[in-house]
Structure 1
Amino acid sequence: MSKPHSATVAARAGIAQDSAYGAVTPPLYLTSTYELKAFKQPGKYDYSRSNNPTRDLLGDALAELEGGAKGLITGTGMSACLLALQLIGPEDTLVIPHDCYGGSYRLFLNLANRKKAFKLVVVNFQQTDWADQVKAAQPKMIWVETPSNPLLQITDIKATAELAKTLNAILVVDNTFLSPALQNPIALGADIVVHSTTKFINGHSDIVGGALIAKDAAVGDELKWWANCLGVTGGAFDAYQTLRGLRTLLPRIKHHQHNAELVVDFLQKQPLVGRVYYPGLKDHPGHAIAKAQQHGFGSMLSFDLAADEAYLAVFFEALQCFTLAQSLGGIESLICHPGSMTHASLDAATQKAAGIGPTLIRLSVGIEDAQDLIADLAQAFAAVEAAVQQKAKTPSVRSGSATAAEKSAQQQFRLNPALSVLW
């Protein structure tokens, strides 16, 4: 049989591989430790932080889907990022994009500034001289996130990989927004691919996890050593759940993407939408590159609400199908305000530099009926329009005390213990 297609690899991940009883669906190995065959004769598995059969099945499946030599499963997406950073040291330079995920940016910035773990250079890969900026930094590692979070900006992976090769640098690509179903960075020249498996790979918003896929087996072995040393490997149950979700990745992605295209078409016609950020649009700056390096445009999109940010609460409150929450990639549709949620760890100046405006809204389009999703957005826009008209009819009573109250509310928001992890 020739090399199977991605849909087949995903659907059959771990299937019919049970050597003990021939179970079609692989068993869940919850054990923490394993019996030695005899004194000083350990088997393939000895302790589950180091190795676990369930976790290995998921790692092997993701490695095959991404075209890598080794797949490592971590406890979270951020621990996958941390694991990749073990390949560089204090004298090395890491180049990151100016608009990467807020959690990644926080990790890079604090490891560089507070721990002196490496030198950090931030580059805008959307500028025409991005290659010159990267060359000037002389990096040991280049980090790319494409499409970017939350503005869906596109970076040319192949061009970046060619540059990385001339600089003898390691190219790491965060492929979370598309999954291996829609983009394969290793085939484009990347050395390492990272995922938050919490998102599309698992697809059901019921576990937190991460993955790192290495192109080179030796690099994969080194990173596996570090994963065990640091204790960042994922749990067996989470791997089992993710493996189960992975089997439906391809059909889920198709439905996600179909719905997203219909939602984008709807948003483009709305007077309360300032700009839609979606690589599938022909006028998107990265459309041509996305079309060349992706197998589809995905189901993540953002837009600017063409109204004062005071109306964001009205918009979110009116929604019924879209859930206001962190994360993305689940079968349910989620909506978030990047400035106060996913990218809250970025200060105002950094958010502005990244293009994250105060009324930017991000959607993770799920697999519900598209017409229900569109109707939900329509009634939320209607609620905003009604609020705007009501305010126009009401005499202004704005005063200095009102402004002080708003400032106090913002201060209380940032002091919320539940949100302190963001900053």
Structure 2
Amino acid sequence: MSGKNYRNIESALIHGGIYGDATTGAVNVPIYQTSTYEQQGIGQNKGWEYSRTGNPTRAALEALIAELEGGTNGFAFGSGMAALTAVISLFKTGDRIIISSNVYGGTFRVLDKIFKNFGITYSIEDTTTLEALDKKISSDVKAILVETPANPLLTITDLKGIADIAKRHGILSIVDNTFMTPYLQRPIESGIDIVVHSATKYLGGHSDVVAGLAVVHDKELADRLAFIQNATGGVLGPFDSFLLIRGIKTLGVRLDRHTENALKIARWLEKNDAVKKVYYPGLETAQGYEINKRQAKNGGAMISFELKENYDYKKFFSSLGLIALAESLGGVESLACHPASMTHASIPREIREKVGITDGLIRLSVGIENADDLIQDLQQAINSSEE
């Protein structure tokens, strides 16, 4: 098979990890649709025993995401939440995890409704102010978990700053890199310990697979997470692993179009008289613009915005034509979402409103359609929502 004669991520997306099939010369890793493997004798096998523990197709995906993120080992799970659950399982009763003031609602829910029952607690902090955050690290804090850009307000956290705080206090730093992917941002290069993805989103890219990934930066963490993955068993199946490898091959060209469209739409929204506020880290007026510019390739493809008071956001959603009202994000098609009642409904209203997740907030996952067609759809929906 071809050697790794490349230096850039665009080539790694296609040739990274375990490329092709050495047995047949196929350029795609086969789907090893098997649960078990014949052994030559007791304690003698070809490296595979049982597909919960390891499967060649999943192994190729795990090697690929590890290479792309610059970590030592990757792990594939049945969903992004399964990946995050495995990572949180690294902690024990009495441990506390600091989370960003706006994160995906499912992250809040699993901490608040599941892990709190086992004595693993959390606190919500503003991770954009590093000096204040540093003072919040007490002896029971064992990790800082951030999203940058955060979901859904696209706030930016300084990754190197978070990594430095974590190292100074001897705790773990965890970053959900779903919105950016390793094509746009590589947290481990900034010193982060663990990166997680809902691979359902941009990595898969076609709204046809549900998957989660985690990458760690050292062997000790890899051994611990590998044990949890095998013991709890929330692994990704071989066919979905194959779909994800296929999706990653086009990640670069897709994100180039996604982000080109997003910047054009964000600039249009910023100038639109009906729009009260735009959240997009690729705008020079955005909070954290300079930090994001330093640690990421661009502003990504997610936009959130609010319409002015004389526009009905419910009518806006019902008037969309080309853009679908739907959960999730990161597919080739553009999706609009109402965070307060959809992705972040599990967060109590008072917490949502305190951080700025208002009932009028609209989240837009910009697809790869023609940007002018998307702008036309947004404008007619805005016009239809005016009261």
Please give the range of the TM-score, normalised by the shorter of the 2 chains: over 0.9
**Partner residue in 2 for 1:252:** 254
State whether structure 2 residue 55 is matched by structure 1 residue 27. no
**Partner residue in 2 for 1:287:** 289
How far the C-alpha of 1:113 sits from its partner, in A, is 3.0
Check conservation: 1:13, 1:58, Cα contact below 8 A: no
Which of the two has higher C-alpha Rg? 1
From 182, 190, 193, give the equivalent of 1:191.
193
State whether structure 2 residue 362 is matched by structure 1 residue 369. no
Once the two structures are superposed, what CA deviation does each residue of 1:114-133 show, in whole Å capped at 9, x if it has no partner?
232x1322211234643234
1: distance between equivalents of 2:126 and 2:184? Answer: 24
Check conservation: 1:34, 1:46, Cα contact below 8 A: yes
Compare the two structures and name the one with the higher helix fraction: 1
1:6–1:361 distance in 2 versus 1, CA, 3 Å: same
How far the C-alpha of 1:67 sits from its partner, in A, is 0.3
1:64-213 to 2 correspondences below 5 Å: 64-116=67-119, 118-127=120-129, 129-136=131-138, 138-213=140-215
After superposing on structure 2, the runs of 4+ consecutive aligned residues of structure 1 that deviate more than 6 Å are none
How far the C-alpha of 1:281 sits from its partner, in A, is 1.2
1:191–1:94 distance in 2 versus 1, CA, 3 Å: same
Once the two structures are superposed, what CA deviation does each residue of 1:251-305 show, in whole Å capped at 9, x if it has no partner?
1100000000111111112122110000111111210100011111100010012
**Which amino acid counterpart does residue 356 of structure 2 have in structure 1?**
G
**Partner residue in 1 for 2:55:** 52
2: distance between equivalents of 1:41 and 1:308? Answer: 72
Once the two structures are superposed, what CA deviation does each residue of 1:67-105 show, in whole Å capped at 9, x if it has no partner?
000000000000111111122111222111121110001
Number of residue-to-residue matches in the alignment = 384
Does the residue aligned with 1:205 lie in a helix, a strand or coil?
coil
2: distance between equivalents of 1:128 and 1:26? Answer: 43
Check conservation: 1:161, 1:190, Cα contact below 8 A: yes
Q: Percent same amino acid among aligned pairs?
A: 41
2: distance between equivalents of 1:85 and 1:14? Answer: 26
Check conservation: 1:15, 1:24, Cα contact below 8 A: no
Once the two structures are superposed, what CA deviation does each residue of 1:4-52 show, in whole Å capped at 9, x if it has no partner?
2111010224675312211122211111111112233122111111101
**Which amino acid counterpart does residue 336 of structure 2 have in structure 1?**
I
**Partner residue in 1 for 2:337:** 336
How far the C-alpha of 1:377 sits from its partner, in A, is 0.5
Point out where structure 2 has 5 or more consecutive residues left out of the alignment.
none
> Larger deviation: 4-13 or 228-237?
4-13
1: distance between equivalents of 2:139 and 2:330? Answer: 34
**Which amino acid counterpart does residue 315 of structure 2 have in structure 1?**
V
State whether structure 2 residue 364 is matched by structure 1 residue 380. no
**Partner residue in 2 for 1:243:** 245
Check conservation: 1:29, 1:53, Cα contact below 8 A: yes
Does the residue aligned with 2:354 lie in a helix, a strand or coil?
helix
Give me the CA root mean square deviation.
Answer: 1.6
1:277–1:178 distance in 2 versus 1, CA, 3 Å: same
1:16–1:294 distance in 2 versus 1, CA, 3 Å: closer
Check conservation: 2:72, 2:217, Cα contact below 8 A: yes
From 21, 32, 46, give the equivalent of 1:43.
46
How far the C-alpha of 1:152 sits from its partner, in A, is 0.1
**Which amino acid counterpart does residue 220 of structure 1 have in structure 2?**
A
Check conservation: 1:14, 1:26, Cα contact below 8 A: no
Check conservation: 2:94, 2:140, Cα contact below 8 A: no
2: distance between equivalents of 1:107 and 1:361? Answer: 24
State whether structure 2 residue 266 is matched by structure 1 residue 264. yes
Does the residue aligned with 1:140 lie in a helix, a strand or coil?
strand
2: distance between equivalents of 1:257 and 1:382? Answer: 25
**Which amino acid counterpart does residue 345 of structure 2 have in structure 1?**
A
1:3–1:21 distance in 2 versus 1, CA, 3 Å: closer
1: distance between equivalents of 2:306 and 2:36? Answer: 52
2: distance between equivalents of 1:43 and 1:308? Answer: 67
TM-score normalised over the length of structure 1 = 0.88
2: distance between equivalents of 1:268 and 1:284? Answer: 11
2: distance between equivalents of 1:307 and 1:238? Answer: 44
1: distance between equivalents of 2:91 and 2:135? Answer: 20
2: distance between equivalents of 1:341 and 1:119? Answer: 24
1:299–1:137 distance in 2 versus 1, CA, 3 Å: farther
